[in-house]
Chains A and B, each alone.
Chain A
């Protein structure tokens, strides 16, 4: 497009009149436009498009004609296209990107941004700058700064089927490759670790296939993993004594416990110690009354509690004694910079939440300790950790987010080098306090008004971005804003395909794509044993 600035203000943005052969239909909300002022360049985003007329009468009567000539006469003279731009970044004469503090001179030209402009703002693809997509209408890589990304929590949102998983997969691949942080991924739907089915193109590779020994897969459901032929690095089992009353509290929404029941849990714990859950579940039903008397609880409420807690016995990964401490093993991997994917197989949501919370709690403790040690020794803190959680609202719901470790991490753990990568469908279900702490927000299409509102809460220029957000495509388009990008940007997500594999994978062998994974693993092992 080509246009000239004819109206504008800092608060309401810049209005550009389309000139020349520009067709209004070619301008799309979210497009990048560069306005070249006398001293500065302004990189802007299209936030609104409309008609205006020199005289309102022309707008109405102008439609009475229908010859091509008449249309051409009126277009651009009587009635013209106006594109509203929101200036996002100002580039001064020495090419420094700055926040916008001025507006371009009257009559400045507005043109589509080119490669140079976009690189000047988003940087060129590099180790630190991860190529995540292109502008919807152009073929120029837009990069997200991974170093900044890992400094704060990140949120990926979008309705079902809009490409959240794709985006998450892309981002995680970028993070694994960059070595800037280590990831712990709670893979509720078995989509990230190893190959998964995609919605249209059949089969896509998982992180393990792309990065080999840089990624370890743990599973909670061994059978499911074996059926899918996933090369697992460990089976994750949890011992009853690793479960604390707080873990149960987190599951309250599913277990439906009342306050008396929660009090009873503490009473039981007081008597039984760490192994309270196992012992309590193994009390004979007939002895409950006596037991209630013993600990000073109400017998019928204790019975109800037992019935509810019995759901735990159905979780396949819960054991009285675990063969090895998998949680410790996961910690070791993470500390050595190996990314861990925890697959849940067919484990229920209850299991997912329980395990995610227990592991997170341990990580929390470990990172706090490590960071404190680092402060004492004036050394470097632990390697930044990103915890990816799906269905994040289950942990960050306003009613429980104050209690859960996830909530705590989201709010204050960045000081200890732990951040979250939240993947969720509904932003409105997440505690607003947590939402406001998210550094980088990425969203695919959202439709619910509440979700849009909570996504945009605390965002500068929210009303303008609303139009942009509402116009995202159903698939493969996302709006990124926040800490890791210098300005809000709409992208067409990069394809997660063979080309991407080649670009990102540690396997430099060109034909790795078609090779069976296990063969590659073998080769890798041999190479490690006998280096050149």
Chain B
């Protein structure tokens, strides 16, 4: 399997990756994993951005199409990169555990998109809801809605799964029912 990025900043709660392709990072709300030492760390992508390597040099608008830019200013594409930030939701060591990993991901570790069996593990452990809701990413509600959208249709018991998730959400948001209603609407299922 091909990796989609590489860890360039890391902590036990979040990590930042540089995408291998410019303008082509993973989708918002998609699940990714990275393996370091003997554990695989799982997370959800919550912010994708493209910017200059050198923070002091701002890109300028050239007024050219992408094709023309590639012809006339090919260096731009080398100086710019796409980054994505990941909120950690669990790790796997022998089995999947829906908790923050004991160690952060290693720097320069490769990042991969989660495959079906990974998604199945994440889906079964509802702890991801809590990590996302408390992630302080600024877009918790959108992120949880995206996560539910991505996970719910995964197998035939989708109704049962939605009910389980809904119950967990109400449990966590019992004091802010309006927020629950908003998230539910954003799930748009």
Contacts and interface: CB of A to CB of B under 8 A. Distances in A.
Given A74-B170, A77-B170, A69 B177 contact: no
Interface string B93-107: 000000000000000
Contacts of B177: 55, 57-58, 61-62, 78
A69 B178 contact: no
Contact of A58 (B159, B166, B170): B170
A433 to B, nearest CB: 54
B174 A73 contact: no
Which of A54, A55, A74, A78 has the most chain B CB atoms closer than 10 A to its own CB?
Answer: A78
B69 interface: no
Contact of B159 (A54, A57, A69): A69
Nearest to A54: B174
A431 B105 CA distance: 86
A72 interface: yes
Interface in A190-228: none
A55 B178 CA distance: 12
Nearest to A59: B177
Contacts of A78: 170, 174, 177
Contacts of A57: 177-178
Decide if the interface of chain A is mainly helix, strand, loop or mixed. helix
A62 B170 CA distance: 11
Contacts of B159: 69
A73 B166 contact: yes
Interface residues of B, number: 14
Interface in A66-86: 69-70, 72-74, 76-78
B145 to A, nearest CB: 15
Contacts of B167: 73, 76-77
A55 B175 contact: yes
Contacts of A70: 166, 184
Given A69-B159, A69-B166, A70-B166, A77 B171 contact: yes
Contacts of A62: 177
Interface string B148-181: 0000000000010011001101110011011001
A61 B181 contact: yes
Contacts of A76: 167
Which of B162, B169, B170, B178 has the most chain A CB atoms closer than 10 A to its own CB?
Answer: B170
A55 B166 contact: no
A484 B45 CA distance: 71
Nearest to A62: B177
Nearest to B169: A73
A72 B163 contact: yes
B158 to A, nearest CB: 10
Interface string A472-492: 000000000000000000000
A58 B174 contact: yes
A64 B178 CA distance: 12
A501 to B, nearest CB: 53
Nearest to A71: B163
A58 B178 CA distance: 9
A76 B170 CA distance: 10
Given A58-B170, A61-B181, A78-B170, A73 B175 contact: no
Nearest to A60: B177
Contacts of B163: 69, 72-73
Contacts of A74: 166, 170
Contacts of B178: 57, 61
A322 to B, nearest CB: 82
Nearest to A68: B159
15 contacts: A57-B177, A57-B178, A58-B174, A61-B177, A61-B178, A69-B162, A69-B166, A70-B166, A73-B162, A73-B163, A73-B167, A76-B167, A77-B166, A77-B171, A78-B174
Interface of A: 54-55, 57-58, 61-62, 64, 69-70, 72-74, 76-78
Q: Which 6 A-B pairs have the closest CB atoms?
A: A73-B166, A77-B167, A54-B174, A77-B170, A78-B170, A57-B177
Given A77-B170, A78-B177, 8 more contacts: A54-B174, A55-B174, A57-B178, A58-B177, A61-B177, A69-B159, A72-B163, A72-B166
